[in-house]
Structure 1
Amino acid sequence: MTTWWPYVRLAAAILGFAALTRQLAIAIGNAQRAETEWGAHLPTVTANFFSYFTVLSNLIAAVTLVIGAVWMLRHRRDRTPEPLWLSTLFACASTYMIVTGIVYNVLLRQIAIAGISDVWTNETLHVIIPLVMLADVLLAPHRRALPWSSLWVVAAFPIAWVAYTLLRAGFITAPFTGTAWWYPYPFLDPHLQGGYPGVIAYVIGIAAVIIAVGAGVIWAGRRQWTGGAKQASAVESERRRASR
């Protein structure tokens, strides 16, 4: 696993960066072709693109996969566990991508993508990379056990993102439609959810999913660490017996 898993990570990262680049090109291209002054405002279109949780999560995941692959290539001949900061980064990236896959396929898959996304970019960002990150949680070697307090670190970014999204929305004129607000997802738009109580209900539900997935990711890492430690201890004991 140590021999070829770094290349799985690198391949997934390249695919993720390619999908993000293509998606940004589509967004900018649509803005340049827009016949309204709102749609043609490239700074707003670009800022909105990087305000999607999916985009930010995939960007975090791609960078994390590259860092993790390079680290693993440097340590493929030893049993050195990941440093704490890297395991924490993987816990965050994995949680965000798994949640992205769940939320998209449960709440957003029915939204038409014609003209705003390619099928391959859409499936890459919402299905393939989430599955890769799930596989990384379950299969990647060198995982270090994280303390349960790391769950607060995992939850910090989604909390900050929700606060940023809800505060920013009222100051942005929506590209292409000209409405006096812009939300990246319909379940965060109080105008579509009958007010903020509906939005809060969605936020609480998704927060529960994030906490549950984050706890599962940390548990999987702790379980793998325990199994690896036992195996290493058994190998060392056998080596000592053989040397007597």
Structure 2
Amino acid sequence: MTASRARMLHLVVALVATAALVLQTVLVLQGGRVLDETSVPPLGIRLGRLVSYFTIQSNVLVAVTAWQLWRDPARDGRWWRPVRLAALVGITVTGLVHFVLLRPLLDLEGADWLADKLLHMAVPVLAVLAWFLVGPRPRTTWRTAGEALAWPVVWLVWTLVVGALSGWYPYPFLDHREDGGAAGVVVACVGITVLFLGLFAGVVALDRRLRPAPAEPVSPATPAR
């Protein structure tokens, strides 16, 4: 696929991810609940909890990297590579974990339902599809994967520590007070870690085998069309 078409696809991803984040933020500002919360905490706490969700962080990474790729579909850089890879794998995990573990817990309507579907379904599908079709590739090595893994590891440790101190966890499968107890949390953490490692390995392997993209050279100085 040509660079001009790559720009258009990255623009779609950027617009959908940004719209989803803005919509969810507006809903939180208005007092909308997230996941299985039944009460509405003060605004400062709501905003702090909003940015604590892995879903939000992964969508932010997708939005930021997609906007950059809209400007330059062949974007590259020493530290840009792990950020881009973290965005790709992180949003994939967001979609998979939501579909398997969180979807049965949700009973949303109206704008809350729309924000949920955009963040957990539309953006993951579009982001993965964009990478598969227009890259950019090759961009991934085992070193890149190791660097990208730092973000979810730090997020998990921080979430467990804050949860133990405050009693609030962004996801029920990380809460030791739920039916599974501490053992259930350990199983969930191990399972998600294995999922991350498998996805990183899969992206590294595909990045080496799929055709380089975009198909035509692009200068970073080339203006968006």
Same fold (TM over 0.5): yes
- Whether 1:185 and 2:186 are equivalent positions in the alignment is no
Between the aligned partners of 1:130 and 1:102, the Cα distance in structure 2 is 9
Q: 1:31 deviation in Å?
A: 6.8
Q: 1:196 deviation in Å?
A: 1.7
Aligned AA for 2:148? V
Aligned AA for 2:203? V
* 2:52 alignment partner in structure 1: 51
Instruction: Mark the CA change 1:217 to 1:202 in structure 2 (over 3 Å): closer, same or farther.
Output: same
Determine helix, strand or coil for the equivalent of 1:50: helix
* 2:188 alignment partner in structure 1: 202
Gaps of 5+ in 2: 34-38, 217-225
Between the aligned partners of 2:14 and 2:78, the Cα distance in structure 1 is 21
* 1:68 alignment partner in structure 2: 69
Between the aligned partners of 1:170 and 1:160, the Cα distance in structure 2 is 15
- Is the 8 Å Cα contact of residues 68 and 86 (structure 1) preserved in structure 2? no
Between the aligned partners of 2:209 and 2:76, the Cα distance in structure 1 is 15
Equivalence map 1:147-186=2 (5 Å): 147-172=141-166, 181-186=167-172
RMSD: 2.5
Aligned pair partner of 1:129 in 123, 127, 135: 123
Aligned AA for 2:28? A
Aligned pair partner of 2:98 in 96, 104, 108: 104
* 2:21 alignment partner in structure 1: 20
Between the aligned partners of 2:149 and 2:189, the Cα distance in structure 1 is 13
* 1:212 alignment partner in structure 2: 198
Aligned length: 209
Instruction: Please say which structure displays the higher CA radius of gyration.
Output: 1
Q: 1:141 deviation in Å?
A: 4.4
- Is the 8 Å Cα contact of residues 57 and 93 (structure 1) preserved in structure 2? yes
- Is the 8 Å Cα contact of residues 104 and 126 (structure 1) preserved in structure 2? yes
- Is the 8 Å Cα contact of residues 81 and 144 (structure 2) preserved in structure 1? no
Between the aligned partners of 1:108 and 1:142, the Cα distance in structure 2 is 31
Between the aligned partners of 2:80 and 2:23, the Cα distance in structure 1 is 28
* 2:76 alignment partner in structure 1: 82
Q: Percent identity at matched positions? A: 28
- Is the 8 Å Cα contact of residues 138 and 207 (structure 2) preserved in structure 1? yes
Gaps of 5+ in 1: 33-37, 76-80, 173-180, 233-244
Determine helix, strand or coil for the equivalent of 1:30: coil
